[in-house]
Amino acid sequence: MSKLATFAFLVAFFGFCFKPIWDSDTWWHIASGQWIVKNHQIPSTDPFGVYSTVDRVRNDTVLRGQWGGQVLLYFAEEFGGNCAVIFLRASILTLTLFLMLLRARSSGASMLASWLVLIPTALLALGYTSDRPQLFSYLFAALVFALVDRFVSVKNGWILAPIPVIGVLWSNIHAGFLIAVATLAIYCSMDAMSRLAGMFREKEQEKNPAEPPVRRSDPKVRNYSLYAVTVIFVTASLLNANGLTTYSYLFDFEGTNLQNATSEYMSSFRLHEFGYYLPQVWIVLIFSAGVVSCFGLFKHSKSELAVLVFLLFAGAFYYRYFAFVSFISGPYIAVGLSTLFRPSLSERLENALHGVVAATAVVALVIGISYQAAFSDGVDKKMFPVEAMDSLGKSPGKIFNHMQWGGFLLWKLNDAAHIYIDGRVLDREKYARYTNMLWATPPGLQLFEEEHFDVVAIPASNRFTGERYPLPMYLEQTHKWDLVFERDGNLVYRRKVEN
C-alpha cells in the first residue's frame, strides 16, 4: 500500500508541476543557451546588446556562471519546444522529492513523519516551477546528500565517488553549488568535533578505569573519505567559467540595492505580504517541524543537526534558500521527529494513511486536469504578450518594454529584438531609468523622449499590486502614439508616423 501511495503522490505532483511556462527569466536563459551553442563560447559581455555598461558581479554571475544550465534549457526547447522544457522541470522536481522520501525512509524515519515533511514540501515546491538553471541545484543538492547518507549507512567510500563529478557539472550550471560547499563543510566540521570528543572521552576512561566503560568507536567508522571528497568537491567546483571569483561574488552581492530589490532575497516569512498565503503556511509548517526536530536530531546526529540549523537560519532570512531546507535537510527533519516522538502505527492504521494519501492525490489530480491546472503545457498568456507578437511585426524597431517581457521578446524576436531592458539587470542604473519611465516621473518622461522609442509594450498594471502604470496615460495624452493592441491587460503602442 505504501508503494501505491508513493506512486500516486508522485504522479500527482508531477502533473501539477507540468504546467505552462510562467517565469519571465526562462526566455533569456534559453536565448543565452542558444547564443552559446551557436557561437561556441561563453559571453563576457551582453551578447544581445541590451546593456552597454554592466555591473561586474551581475555580468559574470548571470552571463558566465549559469551557462551550462542555459545550454541544457535551450537543448530541451530545441528538442521538443515548450513541452520538453516543462517535462524537464517536472521530472527534476519529482525526482528530487522522491530522493527526499528514499533518504528519510532509509535513515529510519517513520512513514508518518516522512509524510508530515514530504506533503508540505511538495505543496511548497509547486512554487519552484520556474524554468531556470537553479532547478538543477535542487536535484544536485538532494543527490549529493543522498550519497552522503548512504555512505554514513554502509561506510563505503566509493559511494562518494560521483560527488566531485557533480561538483564540476554543478558549478558550471548554477551557483547553488555554494550551498553544498557550505553544508558539506559544516557536516564534516561537526563530525570531526564529535570524533575528537569521542577520542577525549576514551582517553579519560583509560586514566580512570573505575569509571563506567565508554564504548570505543568502531574503527570502521573512522573513515575519512567524506573529508577527502569534500575537499575534492570544493577544488572541482573551481573548474568553472568564473573560477575562484565565484566565491567572492557571493559576498560582493550581499547587502547591495539590487539584492534588496530582488523578491527572492526577501524573508521567507514575508510571502503573505505579496498575497502568497498558502506558500506561507507551508513554510511555517516546515520551519516549525524543523525547529522541533532539532531536539530529536541532537540525540541522533550532531552533523545532521548542524546542517539543519544552518539551512533553517539561511532559509528564514532568504526565501531563495528555503528550498534547500527541505531538499537537503527534509529527511533529517523526518528522522528528528521520529526520534523525538517515536510515532508507531499499527499495520491497519498505516495502510489507512496510505489509502488516504493515494485517494487524495488521485482526486486532486483529476480536479487539476479538469481545470487545466495539471498536465497542461504551453505558455502562460497572462504573463507574456503571446497574442501581441503579431502587432509588433518582424522589425518593430526600438522597444520600450516591461522588464518581465524582455526575455520573451529576446527569444521570439531574436536578431530583430531591440528591447530596452530584461530580467538580467546587468546595469543597475538602467533599471533605475526604466522604473522612472514606467511610472512616468518628470525625469523619467524626459528620458523617455530622449530615447525615441518606436514601440511601447507593457502590461497595463503591476501584477503584484494591481496598481496601474502611468506611462500609458502619458502616451495617450501626447497624441503621438497609436494603441495597436489591447487584450487581457496587455498593451502595445506604436509611434505615429509624422507627415
pLDDT, one tens digit per residue, over 395-452 is 899 999 999 999 999 999 988 889 999 999 898 889 999 999 999 999 999 999 999 9
User: Facing residues of 481 across strands?
Assistant: 495
| 3-state secondary structure (DSSP) of residue 2 | helix
Task: Please report the pLDDT score of residue 213 as a whole number.
Answer: 52
Task: Please report the pLDDT score of residue 215 as a whole number.
Answer: 46
pLDDT above 50 for 122:
yes
pLDDT, one tens digit per residue, over 3-32 is 899 999 999 999 999 999 999 999 999 999
Task: Please report the pLDDT score of residue 367 as a whole number.
Answer: 97
Task: Please report the pLDDT score of residue 55 as a whole number.
Answer: 74
Task: Please report the pLDDT score of residue 78 as a whole number.
Answer: 96
Q: For the residues of 7-30, what is the DSSP string, one character each?
A: HHHHHHHHHHH---B--TTHHHHH
The pairing of strands 399-401 and 481-487 is unpaired
pLDDT above 70 for 344:
no
92, containing H or E segment:
helix 67-106
Rg (CA), the chain: 26
Pick from 175, 99, 185, 87: nearest CA to 137: 175
Q: How confident is the model at residue 197 (pLDDT cuts 50, 70, 90)?
A: confident
Domains of the chain, first to last = 2-370 (no CATH), 389-495 (3.40.190)
Cα separation, 292 vs 464, whole angstroms: 34
Count of H helices and E strands in the chain?
20, 4
Least confident of 57-61, 161-165, 309-313, 493-497: 57-61
pLDDT, one tens digit per residue, over 59-76 is 888 899 999 999 999 999
Q: Which residue type occupies 416? A: A
Q: What is the mean pLDDT of residues 119-135?
A: 96
pLDDT, one tens digit per residue, over 279-325 is 999 999 999 999 999 999 988 889 999 999 999 999 999 898 999 99
What's CA 8's distance to the chain center, in Å?
Answer: 25
What's CA 408's distance to the chain center, in Å?
Answer: 20
Q: What is the mean pLDDT of residues 85-93?
A: 98
pLDDT, one tens digit per residue, over 98-113 is 999 999 999 989 888 9
Cell of 320: 531563495
Q: How confident is the model at residue 216 (pLDDT cuts 50, 70, 90)?
A: very low
Q: Which of 68-82, 144-158, 190-204 has the highest mean pLDDT?
A: 68-82
pLDDT above 50 for 382:
yes
Residues present in the chain in total: 499
Task: Please report the pLDDT score of residue 260 as a whole number.
Answer: 53
The full 3-state SS of 236-260, as one line of letters, equals: HCCCCCCCCHHHHHHHHHCCCHHHH
Q: Which of 83-97, 235-249, 343-357 has the highest mean pLDDT?
A: 83-97
